[in-house]
Amino acid sequence: MRIRRYAPADLDAVMDLFRESVRRIAIRDYSEAQVKVWAPDEPDRERWAARRASRPTWIAEIDGDIAGFTDLEPDGYVDMMFVHPDHQGKGVASALLETAESEAARLGLDRLYTEASITARPFFERKGFRVIAPQTVSLRGMDFINYRMEKRLA
């Protein structure tokens, strides 16, 4: 596995991976209607491109395939952590989180925080995050339960 920085040419692959991961993995914990709103058939490509360009994003590659991606906002917020359904349970998210954590340490941040899906909560707990509070967030008119979680950095 190789971790590298995202480049604009990765946009379509990353958008596809996001949709697959939500629709095939997060569907274990959310309804069909919810995953279709979360990962719509026609996502806003411009908005995606702008978001990726606005913060560091890292890609995990396995044999040249994009297997997962994550990102880090300047205040320690991890917005995205998605692994392709064909590459679950291989340590992809672990490697990505390690990279984000190293960058956070380099920036002198004292914590990472996220809003973890029900699906991702056990992963983040395994990695030393604790739940601050469950919450209900509204996305395009649909309610989702997720968890505000944080990890204090040494």
Ligand X SMILES: CC(C)(COP(=O)(O)OP(=O)(O)OC[C@H]1O[C@@H](n2cnc3c(N)ncnc32)[C@H](O)[C@@H]1OP(=O)(O)O)[C@@H](O)C(=O)NCCC(=O)NCCS
Q: Does 92 bind ligand X (CB under 6 A)?
A: yes
Helix (H) or strand (E) run with residue 121 in it: helix 121-126
Tell me whether residue 72 or residue 93 sits nearer to ligand X (CB atom): 93
Per the CB < 8 A criterion, the answer to whether 139 and 30 are in contact is no
Q: Does 116 bind ligand X (CB under 6 A)?
A: yes
CA distance 84 to 56: 20
Q: Which amino acid would we find at residue 28? A: R
Tell me whether residue 92 or residue 104 sits nearer to ligand X (CB atom): 92
Tell me whether residue 59 or residue 93 sits nearer to ligand X (CB atom): 93
φ, ψ for residue 43, nearest 5 deg: -70, 160
Q: Does 126 bind ligand X (CB under 6 A)?
A: yes
CA distance 12 to 148: 28
Question: Total residues at the site for ligand X (CB under 6 A)?
Answer: 20
Interface residue with ligand X, options 19, 117, 150, 151 (CB under 6 A): 117
Give the residues lining the site for ligand X (CB under 6 A): 21, 25-26, 81-83, 88-94, 116-117, 119-120, 122-123, 126
